[in-house]
Chain A
């Protein structure tokens, strides 16, 4: 086979050590969890140039949302950030409710808040578990994923599914917390505490781990802001911005929690911020469980929420109501709204536009990790090839959310 022209023309005298090597890392690389391609130019192991290619997991989320009713968009939102699907559900529901101009009952807000925080913990456990596995700490990965299982059990008890929850609706949620939720969560938190303390001992002062993380992938605060980076990545750089504090939604203004901050914005800070956020989430859940009132979990407007099954089967009004809502969808008044929540990866916003019919005219999600990925080549250029692994791990790209 003839060699490609640019190789065949090489003179004998050129020294391979001086050459800039082009390699493509991905799209399916064992050390990058997520389908993504890095087009790299390397000088030895140093990255001279880097182009990040995303889009391998594009499933036309925004286009498909325009094809169904507002309610039918919920299963699609599960599949954005599938490590914390409840937060996506809640964010979309809040955006649509803001567009309609309705407010959900108190208990519904607490239930949504509790499940959002449980999801935040599962998301961080996934991120930290995978990241530690990629630097060789497989034990920690299994510990953390085991703890995640306890929390997934909780999610399953509430929503009926571990990942594809589709559990929020416009105007409420489908299921209330089960009666024994408090016992379950106390049990889950006991195991979580043990696991987090073990992981802390295994990693925080571990020489191999610290050397791979500390001082690697630094990104100063001003650049991070310019690149639209939010969430743990921005807070690791020392910027105190958390949507839960800046624009409190649900009942975040009634719970007391701290926003963990880093200083240098390197991978070790990102790891620490996530780690401490899990403890804060635990605090939030415990307070919310104490404050949570009894009451309905959805609003009682028949134009928005499906009627109870007894009415559907026994009265013509209930049947018609059900039929109209399922076939035509919730009639959302024409207009547009942007609503942001604090996702596990940063500011997760939905920009929704309605033309007054039962279907969304436009659904736009503001994906936090897409913007972080946009800055990745700036973080990486000038660094070493192995730094890609830890930095990419700490950015926590979730393909479903980044590529939509």
Chain B
């Protein structure tokens, strides 16, 4: 239902995903993503006002290697949609959706921290769960779970200014 509506609106930009488990899934190229998301949020037919979750999956052996996964929910119409945006391994970046849903602020920071995906247009893209001098991105499939990190120098909190929100 939702997918047909979206397809009639965007024609070639929307590829239906695996809906065999009763969930609505679409795949959108990253160039069109922000435009699609804007309609999904603002059009009263969709009214996806709630960004439930934003994460990524690393398909190490496939190309495009990364998939950013947006789980959307409409508190108005009580329906859900999953949007997936594939990203090639060479340049893993996606457009930030912070301007549409503020929840994306921390979710995109986490995704950047864990997968090294750059969110263009994010106002404050820095690590969130890991520390700044952490090497690598732990949730990538080629990061060994038992890898050791180099020791880091002690940082004097007095001489180093605090990170601040914008």
Contacts and interface: CB of A to CB of B under 8 A. Distances in A.
B164 A51 contact: yes
B69 A351 contact: yes
Given A41-B164, A225-B49, A378-B102, 15 more contacts: A39-B162, A51-B162, A55-B128, A55-B131, A62-B139, A99-B21, A227-B102, A228-B51, A228-B107, A335-B18, A351-B71, A361-B57, A371-B106, A374-B107, A404-B129
A335 B21 contact: yes
A338 B106 contact: no
Interface in B3-57: 18, 20-21, 23, 49-53, 55, 57
B75 A225 contact: yes
Contacts of B161: 22
A interface secondary structure, majority: mixed
Contacts of A58: 129-130
Contacts of A41: 164
Interface in A212-254: 223, 225-228, 239, 241, 246-247
A364 interface: yes
Nearest to A57: B129
B149 interface: no
B53 A49 contact: no
A4 interface: yes
Q: Which 6 A-B pairs have the closest CB atoms?
A: A228-B103, A374-B106, A55-B129, A39-B162, A366-B53, A226-B102
Interface of A: 4-5, 22, 24, 39, 41, 49-51, 53-55, 58, 60, 62-64, 66-67, 98-99, 101, 223, 225-228, 239, 241, 246-247, 335-338, 340, 347, 349, 351, 353, 361-362, 364, 366, 370-371, 373-375, 377-378, 403-404
14 contacts: A24-B157, A39-B162, A39-B164, A41-B164, A50-B165, A55-B130, A62-B114, A63-B138, A338-B82, A340-B52, A349-B53, A364-B69, A374-B107, A378-B102
Contacts of A60: 138, 145
B47 to A, nearest CB: 11
A155 B18 CA distance: 39
Interface string B127-166: 0111100000011000101000000000001110111110
A24 B162 contact: yes
B145 A63 contact: yes
Given A39-B163, A58-B130, A246 B78 contact: yes
A372 to B, nearest CB: 10
Interface of B: 18, 20-21, 23, 49-53, 55, 57-58, 69, 71, 75, 78, 80, 82, 101-103, 105-107, 110, 114, 128-131, 138-139, 143, 145, 157-159, 161-165
**Most chain-A Cβ atoms within 10 A of its Cβ — which of B78, B102, B143, B157?**
B102
Contacts of B69: 351, 364
